[in-house]
Structure 1
Amino acid sequence: MSTPSHASTPTESTDRALRRPRVLHFVTGGFSGATQVAVDLVRGHLAGQSFEPLLVLRRKPHTEQARVDALLSEGIPVEMVAGWAHIATVRQLVKICERFRPDILVAHGFSEHLWGRYAGLLAKVPHLVHVEHNSRERYTWSRTRQMLWLSRRTDAIVGCSEGVKQVLLDKGTPVAKTLAISNGIRTAPFAAAVQHSWRERIPGIIMAARFARQKDHTTLLRAIALLRSRGHRPSVKLAGAGKASARNAAHKLSAELGLTDQVEFLGHHKDVPGLLMTHQICVLSTHYEGMPLSLIEGMAAGCVAIGTRAPGVQEVIDHDRNGLLVAHEDAASLADALERVLTRPEDGERLAAQGRADADTLYTLERMIARYETLFGQIIAGDEPLDLSRI
């Protein structure tokens, strides 16, 4: 384990001994999958009361204040820092750290894990944790060097899947403190899935994903156009906000392909579980992932999960057992998979049932939170080296 960022004074040591350990989670305010994981961990800390948490969001141009307000009204402690300049982000986060005095700062996602850990070092936070949420990020030579320099001063480096962990190791992170903790979802919102017989559901398609360069709405729309030429016209609902430029491009392509009567752009949807549980198919057409929460939620909802053959997705979907994998950027491959499910209900029922069973056992939020809190407990206890087999 790395040496703590600073030695505590007697007063600080006494203060820490008299209160619950404090954990600050720093993440993008773009409400990506990384944001959802950080929010869920804060919820878990509040419910379990083993840790005192604080969520700090880095403001983005598309950060929705209504969603921040919803977290605050729920009782989640949230603060914002500027996102317009890295130096502003670091300075504001240092001030929050000096006031909150966390025992652990958990920096989620690229490039927030860089600025978060710089702030933690400057504020002399005792322990730092880096969580990587994607298998492919824009690591330049300079940022790779920064990441590795920070890794030597970080207690643990977490990949949100085995695939992401391997990417980190390939970049040179220390083996002794690099581990995988799979993302998890709240299964309670999907408890009613068993009441929705798969064959009685709407034979339609849901893709719940923000509009961004990472997601591949283009291939899905082209696959729907191919299905239409084969005589199939399933409804398609695209749930998610994201970047206006990406959303506008998808709108334009949908119109060009003559799909405006089939494809509905829902924006941010407040009841994605309800949407999924009334439809047969969930799709994640993507270029790369870490651990795709939206796909796991679709499985928990009893949908047939269809995803791009990409790191992260391949860990969740075992082809033809609990879902279907399709070739990257291959509209014909995706159209074939969709047609199979739409025309062979016996396959659909089988895949959906196994997918739901896997989501309920392998990817629960409770399991994810327990593993993170075990890790934090080892770090605070000063275990050297970390016992990764117990996490």
Structure 2
Amino acid sequence: MRQLSLLALTKSTGGIALYNKLLLTELRRIGVHSHTLCLSENSESYAADLARRGLGAEPVEMARYSIDLGGDARVLRRVITASREHEADVIVCHGSKSGFIGRAAGRITGRPVVYRQASMPFQRRVQGAKAPFYWALDFAARGFGGHVVTLTEYARQETLKAKLMPPDRVSVIRTGVDVERFRPATDRAAARRALGLDPDRPVVGWMGRMEPQKAPLDYIEALRGLVARYPQVQFVMAGEGRLEGEVTQALAAAGLSDKVRMLGWQSDPVAALQAFDIYVLSSHWEGLPITLLEAMASGCCCISTDVDGCSDALEDGVSGRLVAAGDAAALAGALEGVLHDPGLRDPYAAAGRHRAVTLFDKETMVAKWVELLSTLTAGRAPVPSAGTAEPASEGGQ
């Protein structure tokens, strides 16, 4: 019996690319074949990463931030050709431009399309004057048909409010993480030691891409008055990106260069998160950040800005703390609260872990995708059960 086959379109960086990789890796375990067209910058590296995991992939050049009629037409032709070459039963596309091109290809080839929408909740804040253009792109693609998947109920409501799709063609499938792999450390002191940290002192950690979206400078600003008051605490940052130079300068300007430990990019986020007592996310916008879910599953006490999907993940004062984005003073206040009263950390961490297990488990995410794919491909190809996993090579992180 022929395997179900998916053709995926995605940009090759950030959370969108990570989501595609996680989803297709899990679907492969239950016997779903996939091939990804890796678009925009980093496409060759991303395609190689997918290939190491046993997933079909190829880099495809595409202008991500602008209309390029000739280039976009070439991408559309490649999508149409690839869907036939790989006998795709469904086209799955991530992001606005991929969503437009993928749905156009689906209309031409007669294949069902899933548009995994990522930016609607924060489109106006991020795109500013360009937001109407992105709305128009999504609205025009409505005429091609397809089904929209959002990561949160809030995103679903924003999508419906923008009239981008009728209600029966918009589903919520929350991002899932491996709650068995990401779990509280049995020996946090050993986890700290493995990172070269003092095993006997608590750790406050920030981890992510050093990009404007993640606002690492807000974290540094929040630490200005805290580091000296809590000398027993180790403050760390893990990651890399365009703002590394500015981060280094900000630490020096705040007199924190020798007080905040820079850990660099972490190829094994499990090891890093198991060393953290407190995890801080300072982002100005997010869909549903995977690292926050991983930190919750790892038993960290989490403090996050209240943007978009973050408020779907954490309950303020129950499973962590939420503060306004861009408010470094509020971030500092929430962090000081759990530093001053260590008794708050364990209840927040336990509630966060429970929430990750019950709402954001990858098995639940895969089951919902299987249910959706089964509906869309009725009569085309059988979809394996989410419970019929087969061994798969993990490859690199």
Question: Structure 2-normalised TM-score?
Answer: 0.83
* Distance (whole Å) between structure 1 residues aligned to residue 137 and residue 226 of structure 2: 47
**1:193 and 1:64, CA in 2 relative to 1: closer, same or farther beyond 3 A?**
farther
* Distance (whole Å) between structure 2 residues aligned to residue 74 and residue 294 of structure 1: 21
Aligned partner (choices 119, 132, 150) of residue 117 of structure 2 = 132
Alignment-mate amino acid for residue 235 of structure 2: V
Q: Is the 8 A contact 1:42 1:55 kept in 2?
A: no
Q: Does 1:90 align with 2:89?
A: no
Alignment-mate amino acid for residue 226 of structure 1: G
Q: Does 1:103 align with 2:102?
A: no
**1:357 and 1:202, CA in 2 relative to 1: closer, same or farther beyond 3 A?**
farther
Alignment-mate amino acid for residue 326 of structure 1: V
* Distance (whole Å) between structure 2 residues aligned to residue 131 and residue 193 of structure 1: 33
Alignment-mate amino acid for residue 139 of structure 2: L
SS at match of 1:238: strand
2:101 alignment partner in structure 1: 115
**1:202 and 1:360, CA in 2 relative to 1: closer, same or farther beyond 3 A?**
farther
**1:282 and 1:231, CA in 2 relative to 1: closer, same or farther beyond 3 A?**
closer
* Distance (whole Å) between structure 1 residues aligned to residue 131 and residue 341 of structure 2: 46
Alignment-mate amino acid for residue 40 of structure 1: L
SS at match of 1:228: coil
Q: Does 1:205 align with 2:196?
A: no
Q: Is the 8 A contact 1:194 1:302 kept in 2?
A: no
2:225 alignment partner in structure 1: 226
Alignment-mate amino acid for residue 135 of structure 2: T
Bigger mean CA offset, 134-143 vs 345-354? 134-143
Q: Does 1:45 align with 2:14?
A: no
Q: Does 1:184 align with 2:176?
A: yes
Q: Does 1:255 align with 2:252?
A: yes
Q: How far apart are residue 369 of structure 1 and its match?
A: 0.9
- Please, which runs of 5 or more residues in structure 1 have no aligned partner? 1-17, 384-391
SS at match of 2:148: strand
Q: Is the 8 A contact 2:96 2:134 kept in 1?
A: no
The within-5 A match list for 1:307-318 is 307-318=304-315
Q: Is the 8 A contact 1:163 1:290 kept in 2?
A: no
Bigger mean CA offset, 19-28 vs 290-299? 19-28
Q: Is the 8 A contact 2:26 2:366 kept in 1?
A: yes
Q: Does 1:21 align with 2:4?
A: yes
After superposition, give the CA deviation of every residue in 1:51-75 in whole Å (9 maximum; x if it has no partner).
3222221131x5572x543432221
Q: How far apart are residue 312 of structure 1 and its match?
A: 0.9
Aligned partner (choices 364, 371, 375) of residue 374 of structure 1 = 371
* Distance (whole Å) between structure 1 residues aligned to residue 240 and residue 329 of structure 2: 26
Bigger mean CA offset, 190-199 vs 77-86? 190-199
Q: Is the 8 A contact 2:94 2:117 kept in 1?
A: yes
Alignment-mate amino acid for residue 238 of structure 1: M
Q: How far apart are residue 350 of structure 1 and its match?
A: 1.1
* Distance (whole Å) between structure 2 residues aligned to residue 201 and residue 364 of structure 1: 31
* Distance (whole Å) between structure 2 residues aligned to residue 99 and residue 285 of structure 1: 43
After superposition, give the CA deviation of every residue in 1:208-262 in whole Å (9 maximum; x if it has no partner).
22222322112111001121354557433333334x2x33322322222222113
Alignment-mate amino acid for residue 214 of structure 1: Q
Q: Does 1:145 align with 2:112?
A: no
2:389 alignment partner in structure 1: none
Q: Is the 8 A contact 1:97 1:125 kept in 2?
A: no
Alignment-mate amino acid for residue 29 of structure 2: A
Q: Is the 8 A contact 1:226 1:332 kept in 2?
A: no
2:52 alignment partner in structure 1: 73
* Distance (whole Å) between structure 1 residues aligned to residue 96 and residue 217 of structure 2: 24
Q: Is the 8 A contact 1:202 1:280 kept in 2?
A: no
Q: Is the 8 A contact 1:201 1:280 kept in 2?
A: no
**1:72 and 1:266, CA in 2 relative to 1: closer, same or farther beyond 3 A?**
farther
Q: How far apart are residue 190 of structure 1 and its match?
A: 2.2
Number of matched residues? 359
- What is the percent sequence identity of the aligned residues? 26
Q: Is the 8 A contact 1:196 1:278 kept in 2?
A: yes
* Distance (whole Å) between structure 1 residues aligned to residue 378 and residue 222 of structure 2: 53
* Distance (whole Å) between structure 1 residues aligned to residue 155 and residue 76 of structure 2: 26
SS at match of 2:171: strand
SS at match of 1:167: helix
2:195 alignment partner in structure 1: none
* Distance (whole Å) between structure 1 residues aligned to residue 313 and residue 200 of structure 2: 23
2:386 alignment partner in structure 1: none
**1:346 and 1:366, CA in 2 relative to 1: closer, same or farther beyond 3 A?**
same
SS at match of 2:227: helix
**1:195 and 1:204, CA in 2 relative to 1: closer, same or farther beyond 3 A?**
closer
* Distance (whole Å) between structure 2 residues aligned to residue 201 and residue 126 of structure 1: 57
Bigger mean CA offset, 315-324 vs 222-231? 222-231
* Distance (whole Å) between structure 2 residues aligned to residue 202 and residue 359 of structure 1: 26
After superposition, give the CA deviation of every residue in 1:109-155 in whole Å (9 maximum; x if it has no partner).
23332233334445x15111111123213353333222112123233
Q: Does 1:35 align with 2:17?
A: yes
1:54 alignment partner in structure 2: 35
SS at match of 1:78: strand
2:352 alignment partner in structure 1: 355
Q: How far apart are residue 206 of structure 1 and its match?
A: 2.0
* Distance (whole Å) between structure 2 residues aligned to residue 54 and residue 262 of structure 1: 46
Bigger mean CA offset, 250-259 vs 349-358? 250-259
Q: Is the 8 A contact 1:130 1:154 kept in 2?
A: no
SS at match of 2:55: coil
* Distance (whole Å) between structure 1 residues aligned to residue 200 and residue 276 of structure 2: 5
The within-5 A match list for 1:241-252 is 241-242=240-241, 244=242, 246-252=243-249
Question: Structure 1-normalised TM-score?
Answer: 0.84
CA RMSD of aligned residues (A): 2.5
* Distance (whole Å) between structure 2 residues aligned to residue 192 and residue 299 of structure 1: 9
